[in-house]
């Protein structure tokens, strides 16, 4: 959602659209950062990491032997991407992504192909929001642990938003991917109906390679 909102914000420079959509993107970015801060604090408090992971540097301090920390810059281990130990690392990543994307947008702002592609990436990324949940439900043959009210709110909001796109003749990418997002929401609700009588299976959460659960 954060990435999608950033793409949408940059799209405004190349193709003007309704101001409420821009404000929605700004509010969404702020909301996602606050959620990242909360998730990071909760996860770190429940994990005993032998090795702390960072966006731009790795701290090789071994807590068991109290060895002095050794900093290694440009860590970028894909196994730990988006699983960093501090909220500031997420902020650094978001700022880096914003700077790089903003610079590329500035260079290619006059290209209609680039602008249209940017618009498509913005709404397509958001349209794929429910796909991980859809796939997990399919794997588990269960919707246990998923908030049905949340999905209903998704569906309602996406339906109104897609109607807004169509009625206000927003860029066609918005309408197409809005319809796709509504389809994904409806598919998740269908899973709730199909799996309502299925035996609930405990969902296993594999431990992170460099952490153990706190007692």
Cβ distance 181 to 126 under 8 Å?
yes
Q: What is the pLDDT of residue 67?
A: 47
Q: Domains of the chain, with CATH numbers?
A: 1-54+85-109 (no CATH), 111-199 (1.20.1280.290)
Contacts of 203 (CB under 8 A, 6+ apart): 140, 142, 144, 145
Distance from C-alpha of 120 to C-alpha of 116, rounded to nearest angstrom:
6
Burial class for 1, CB neighbours closer than 10 Å (0-12, 13-18, 19+): middle
Could you tell me where the DSSP H helices lie in the chain? 2-14, 19-45, 87-107, 112-127, 131-140, 148-167, 172-194
Q: How far is CA 207 from the centre of its chain?
A: 21
What's the mean pLDDT in 187-214?
64
Cβ distance 84 to 90 under 8 Å?
yes
Q: What is the pLDDT of residue 76?
A: 60
Banded model confidence at residue 68, pLDDT cuts 50, 70, 90:
very low
Q: What is the pLDDT of residue 52?
A: 65
Task: Map residue 72 onto helix, strand or coil.
Answer: strand
**Which of residues 205 and 36 earns the better pLDDT score?**
36
Find the range with the poorest average confidence among 49-63, 101-115, 119-133, 178-192.
49-63
User: Does pLDDT of 214 surpass 50?
Assistant: no
Banded model confidence at residue 182, pLDDT cuts 50, 70, 90:
very high
Banded model confidence at residue 47, pLDDT cuts 50, 70, 90:
low
User: Does pLDDT of 24 surpass 50?
Assistant: yes
Cβ distance 25 to 9 under 8 Å?
yes
Q: What is the pLDDT of residues 121-153, one digit of tens each?
A: 888 888 888 898 899 999 988 888 888 888 899
Q: For the whole prediction, is pTM greater than 0.95?
A: no
> How is residue 104 written in tokens?
């590329």
Task: Map residue 205 onto helix, strand or coil.
Answer: coil
Please count the residues of the chain: 215
> What residue has token string 């409806």?
186
Q: What is the pLDDT of residues 77-111, one digit of tens each?
A: 667 777 787 888 888 888 888 899 889 988 888 88
Q: Could you count the other beta carbons within 10 Å of the beta carbon of residue 107?
A: 10
């Amino acid at each position: 959602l954060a990435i999608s909102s950033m793409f949408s914000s940059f799209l405004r420079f190349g193709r003007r659209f309704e101001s409420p959509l821009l404000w929605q993107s700004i509010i969404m970015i702020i909301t996602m950062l606050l959620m990242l801060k909360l998730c990071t604090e909760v996860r770190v408090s429940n994990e005993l990491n032998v090795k702390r992971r960072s966006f731009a540097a790795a701290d090789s301090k071994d807590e068991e032997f109290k060895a002095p920390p050794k900093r290694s810059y440009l860590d970028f281990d894909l196994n730990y991407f988006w699983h960093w130990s501090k909220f500031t690392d997420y902020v650094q990543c978001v700022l880096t992504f914003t700077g790089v994307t903003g610079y590329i947008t500035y260079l290619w702002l006059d290209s209609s192909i680039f602008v249209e592609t940017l618009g498509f990436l913005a709404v397509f990324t958001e349209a794929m929001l429910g796909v991980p949940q859809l796939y997990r439900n399919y794997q588990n043959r269960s919707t246990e642990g998923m908030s049905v009210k949340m999905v209903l709110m998704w569906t309602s909001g996406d339906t109104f938003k897609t109607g807004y796109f169509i009625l206000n003749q927003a860029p066609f990418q918005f309408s197409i991917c809005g319809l796709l997002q509504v389809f994904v929401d409806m598919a998740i609700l269908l899973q709730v109906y199909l799996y309502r009588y299925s035996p609930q299976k405990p969902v296993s959460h594999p431990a992170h390679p460099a952490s153990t659960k706190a007692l």
